[in-house]
Amino acid sequence: MARLIDYLREKDRVHPAYINLFPTGATNEQLGTKGDTVSAYKEYLSRFHKTVHPALLSYDHYQFAVDHDSDDYFLNISLMRRAAQDAGLPFLNIVQACTWSPTMRAPTEAEMRYLVYTTLAYEAQGISYYIYSHPGHTPGIADEDGKPTAVYDWLKPLNRDFLKIAEEVQPLHSVGVYHAGMMPPGAQPLPKGATFLFDPRFPDVDFQPGKRVQGALLGMFGPTENGTATHAIVVNLDYEKEQVMNLKGMGALDRFDPATCEWNPTFDSQLKLHLPPGGGALVRCCGEDGGFTRIFDGETLKGWKAPDMSYWSVQDGAITAESTEANPCKSNQFIVWQGGDVADFELKAKFRLANNQGNSGIQFRSRIDENGISIGYQADILPGGEWCGALADENTSRVPLMVPNGHKTVVDANGKRTCTRAGEPVSLRKSGDWNDYHIVARGHHVILKINGQVSAEFIDDDAREFDASGILGLQLRSGPPMKVQFREVLLKQLR
């Protein structure tokens, strides 16, 4: 094969020559290797690359039999993806578009959609179809007289989508491909703390050999191979049913429209996707939200600690603080992020108060004394009034309310405080809805925003009281029973 490729290159230096490789279903004798399916196929791909030095990798794997689906479709494409990455080559996936045997079925439109979008999610840079037209193969893309079939009509928009989406992600690197719901052979589960997550998460479904795969697929792409994902191709793996799934990211999400080649902003870190059977979508975290790290995994309190954890739990995918008649809160409680102190930073979080009642806050650049008392800056949370979105300086020699809602305060080096009206006061959304908190702290300058509106601005030049760094924590206020929740807690350290 290597000599044949060399001969073709010598005769035609413009067009790349390629050899289509066996699928995982080939025997070890056909592959010329030994071992189980995975090890034998890996060795086969490695030998081919080292011997032939191809310009690309190509293979076919036909999934749809009359009475079952191939179990190894995702195993095969995952092994090919890894081999292509290791070799620094693109790969081509040849997929099924016809029946040619009593044992194989002709794919439906939804199944063709499934093949196109799963191929994209696994980073293939090319797709081809078996077969365009050949006697005994139906329907194919054209009949024996050259007349386009229904498959041709299906593939016209799908091929456009493939091309436009591939062009968007081609400059990026595939940083991971993850399954949610069912785990067929070759699948990797979606890790906690990933850039893109499903909320609610897909319930686990046992894989059943021969049956169709269900759940969803996330192919993630980013500027570096081992870095943070910025883009994701989301696929509905159920080719029989439409699925509605809620995707959340580390920042506001945009959705790509392959028909117009335009990105449509959502201005929200959550996006509800209505995906047809086997369908998919390309989404990205918009650029201004890059660099954030998710510091709450949405499922556990790992990385967070409080002196009394009885008040703290995870509910509704959110850090939840709750006091009750049976477990009253007699002194302010704080749960502290264990990732170290914050200095200059940005924090984004969603929050809500049960029934829009109670009192809470986000403590930052602070310290907790031996009695559990917080000392330092707090971004306040109340349903309304001057304390809603206010900046307080808790338990210091200064007045607690440094910047009321809708104001700007400047404190000079001698501690003189000047407070002026800066805008309209903010208020929380209706009970049950999530609110957005955005804190930006750079040196002596702090800005608080609630639901996109500046609620407080603070310049603290007080030499005695200015806090340059300290802990980051969440508060449960003492007093009557209450409940406060925080989710999508994102942090960007600025220095």
HSE value, Cβ hemisphere, 13 Å, CA-based, for 382:
17
The three-state secondary structure class of 114 is helix
pLDDT at 495: 64
Contact by Cβ (8 Å): 180, 201 = yes
Bridge-based pairing of strands 445-450 and 435-442 is: antiparallel
Contacts of 101 (CB under 8 A, 6+ apart): none
pLDDT at 288: 43
pLDDT at 15: 86
> pTM for this one?
0.64
Contact by Cβ (8 Å): 219, 177 = yes
Alpha-carbon dihedral sign for residues 314, 489, 479, 306 = positive
Q: Which amino acid is at 182?
A: M
Q: Indicate the length of the chain as a whole number.
A: 495
Q: Which amino acid is at 392?
A: A
How far, CA to CA in Å, does 225 sit from each of 23, 75, 287, 481? Answer: 26, 21, 18, 48
Cα–Cα distance for residue pair 472/470, rounded to 1 Å:
7
pLDDT at 289: 47
Cα–Cα distance for residue pair 259/169, rounded to 1 Å:
16
The tokens 């004798």 sit on which residue? Answer: 29
3-state helix/strand/coil string of 183-226: CCCCCCECCCCCCCEECCCCCCECCCCCCCCCEEEEEEEECCCC
- Which residues are registered as beta bridge partners of 320? 313, 485
Selection from 368, 492, 395, 378 nearest residue 442 by Cα:
492
| pLDDT < 70 regions, the chain | 267, 286-290, 495
DSSP conformation letters of 65-81: BSS-B-TTHHHHHHHHH
How far, CA to CA in Å, does 386 sit from each of 120, 310, 345, 351, 411? Answer: 51, 31, 25, 18, 19
Alpha-carbon dihedral sign for residues 429, 351, 399, 467 = negative
The tokens 């081509």 sit on which residue? Answer: 92
Domains and CATH numbers, the chain: 56-289 (2.60.40.1180), 293-493 (2.60.120.560)
